[in-house]
Chains A and B, each alone.
Chain A
Amino acid sequence: MNAATANLRRRASTTLHYTVLVAVALLCAFPLLWTLSAAIGTEGNVFAFPSSLLPQRVSLANFIEVFRVVDLGRYFFNSIWITFWTVVWTVLVCSLAAYPLARLHFRGRRLVFAVILATLMLPTEINFLVNFITTTHLRLVNTYAGVILPTLAGAIGIFIMKNAFEEIPQDLLDAARVDGASELHIFFRIMLPLALPQIGALVILTTVTSWNNFLWPSVVLTKSNLMPLAVGILELSGTFGSSTRVIAAGAILTVAPALIVFFFAQRFFMRGMEGAIK
């Protein structure tokens, strides 16, 4: 096989590679791209193809309309607030639970871990009814604590952190213990800093799920000045609702922040997941 054919083959394979990538990327992004073009376009039939993908006149009028009809700034702030605290507390609660499961010896360790993993199998999707009653008794309806608390202790989060802690060399722990460091000191000064990549992954994961969480906040929050974006956006549809283009603009505004976060945090996320999956 001479160099020229080898080169040709390599180029052909790269082309094929890209063709597949572009095709799948288009399929994945198509609904969002179309929504975007519907949102920035102003006239013509929204559902015509391919003309609707390339709007002739571009304007931000639909976005302005969204801000005019719903209190988007408020929802935006609520989403950020809820997401921020969910992330902080999830990381804390999950890593605290993961540490003894990974590194401490006590009776019932395996059982506890098995029980936590078993929550993945339970149909927790319809727990929200009983949870709403509990939340009412705890007087947490219409509070952010009510939104946040039930989501904090997740099996996936504990699992990721447990794997992270298991990677850390035993020598470091032994040395610290010999120096008389408390377990809490070890946890915050050694374990957490060394697990930063996985914490990063957990942060991004939690950010995205919390940002998009829909069913539970819509049940536990009744006041619209507390609602996050994913719930508030529903005000745009409905019987007295807005036009397709305005709803599209609202959809884009809801999705964009999570997308931007993911795009810029991608590398961090990948490194963390790598640590978690090993």
Chain B
Amino acid sequence: MMADSARLGVPDPGNAPGPAGAIDRRMRATGGARPRAKQARQAWFFLAPALLLLLVFTFWPVLWGSILAFTEYKIITPPTWVGLQNFEDLLDDPVFFISIKNSLLYLVIVPVIQLGAIVLAVLVNNSLPGIKLFRAAFYMPVVTSVSVVGIMWGWMYNEQGLINAVLQWLHVINEPIGWLSDDRLALFSLMLVTLWRGLGWYMVLYLAALQSIPKDVEEAAVLDGANRWQRFWRVTIPMIMPTILLCTVLSTLSAMKVLEEVLIMTKGGPVSSTYTGLYYAYDQGIRAFNFPRALAASMVVSVFCIGIAWLNFRFLRPRHR
């Protein structure tokens, strides 16, 4: 399934203009039941609604935003071109560096979340009694609205909140821990929420991949005398490699672009310790009315996203394909 996306950007020889393609097309156009020109027209017709919506609501804002990033624009006066000034301002702001550093640090949850999700998927990939209940329990956080996540985890992380109450009851700690109020911990506390929200989602994707592994492959490995551990590493993992790639890319991108957790739980504090790249952009745009700088910051985040996605493809792409 990842074949297409893994080859992103590689020109398709079949569609490349050239003598062979042209002849092929002409032959079909005259002889085939459905001429190619007509098929192409219909293809665009089918694509039109989606492309139109993407154009208006995704590409236009990105394009317009990219232009605004090079201007000075203070809501009431029209934007004026200032070149790289906004980017220089970013370099001048220590909070921006903290934000990018935190966004990169956030990537540590990617392997944790992926490994956890794979293990969970393996554990629920059977028909033991009650297994559906477990799957539903793991998926519960995924279907919980952000506004509710913010309220609930606020209660969990409070100084006198639930997590401290549990730990004190277990006598693990004597003093309550400031999960969100300690600048050394707050970012990790947010990561835990992201982990909590994401585990079930990736588990479902992996579970689907596991269930599509043909039974005979597994059985052949059993006959070869492989134990569970070996089967997991030599059969399961290679078989779900495309899914691992997909999930890793998705979770890398969403980790890099984390915003909601910060917005609902810490608003960047304490001591700017939980600013992330996109929260910085949000804060600059909404609270400081500095749209150009906000957009410049979000452009920097996208550059990181593209780079990291490229690295993912480079290292995780199945080689035998």
Contacts and interface: CB of A to CB of B under 8 A. Distances in A.
Interface of A: 14, 17-18, 20-21, 24-25, 27-32, 34-35, 38, 47-50, 52, 92-94, 96-97, 99-101, 104-110, 112-114, 116-117, 119-127, 129-131, 134, 149-150, 152-153, 158, 163, 177-178, 183, 187, 208, 211-212, 214-215, 229-231, 233-234, 237, 244, 247, 251, 254-255, 258-259, 261-263, 266, 269-270, 273-274, 276-278
Contact of A134 (B57, B250, B298, B301): B57
B15 A110 contact: yes
Interface of B: 1, 4-5, 8-12, 14-15, 17, 33-34, 36, 39-40, 42-44, 46-47, 49-51, 53-54, 56-62, 64-65, 120, 123-124, 128, 132-148, 151-153, 155-156, 158, 160-162, 165-166, 168-169, 196, 199-200, 204-205, 207-209, 211-212, 243, 246, 249-250, 253, 257, 259-260, 278, 281-282, 285, 291, 294-295, 298-299, 301-302, 305-306, 309
B166 A104 contact: no
A150 B211 contact: no
B249 to A, nearest CB: 8
Contacts of B44: 100, 106
B49 A215 contact: no
B58 to A, nearest CB: 5
Contacts of A48: 165
Given A123-B281, A274-B208, A277-B1, A230 B132 contact: no
Contact of A153 (B34, B53, B65): B53
Contacts of B14: 105
B212 A152 contact: no
Nearest to B63: A130
Given A130-B64, A270-B211, A273-B205, A96 B120 contact: no
Given A123-B302, A230-B145, A278 B212 contact: yes
A212 B145 CA distance: 4
Given A123-B302, A258-B143, A31 B156 contact: yes
Nearest to A211: B145
30 contacts: A20-B123, A28-B137, A28-B199, A29-B137, A50-B166, A100-B43, A105-B36, A105-B40, A113-B4, A113-B5, A119-B54, A120-B250, A121-B253, A121-B302, A122-B62, A123-B302, A124-B61, A124-B62, A126-B278, A126-B298, A129-B291, A153-B58, A214-B146, A231-B147, A244-B155, A259-B143, A261-B143, A266-B135, A270-B208, A274-B209
B147 A163 contact: no
A121 B12 CA distance: 22
Chain B, interface SS category: helix
Given A29-B137, A50-B169, A93-B53, 8 more contacts: A34-B156, A47-B160, A94-B50, A119-B54, A119-B59, A208-B143, A270-B204, A277-B208
A276 B208 CA distance: 8
Contacts, number: 275
Nearest to B119: A20
A215 B143 contact: no
Contact of A47 (B136, B165, B299): B165
A130 B46 contact: no
A234 B243 contact: no
Contacts of A94: 50
Contact of B152 (A31, A50, A93): A31
B134 A21 contact: yes
Contact of A110 (B12, B205, B246, B282): B12
A228 B66 CA distance: 32
A215 B40 contact: no
A170 B42 CA distance: 18
Nearest to A113: B4
A47 B249 CA distance: 39
A208 B142 contact: yes
A231 B145 CA distance: 10
Contacts of B9: 114
B166 to A, nearest CB: 5
A220 B145 CA distance: 18
A163 B14 CA distance: 20
Contacts of B207: 270, 273
A233 B285 contact: no
B162 A134 contact: no
Contacts of B148: 230, 233, 251, 254-255
Among A93, A117, A237, residue most surrounded by chain B Cβ atoms (within 10 Å): A93
A99 B46 CA distance: 8
B144 A255 contact: yes
A244 B15 CA distance: 61
A17 B123 CA distance: 7
Contacts of A112: 47, 51
Nearest to A267: B132
Contacts of A107: 15, 17, 40
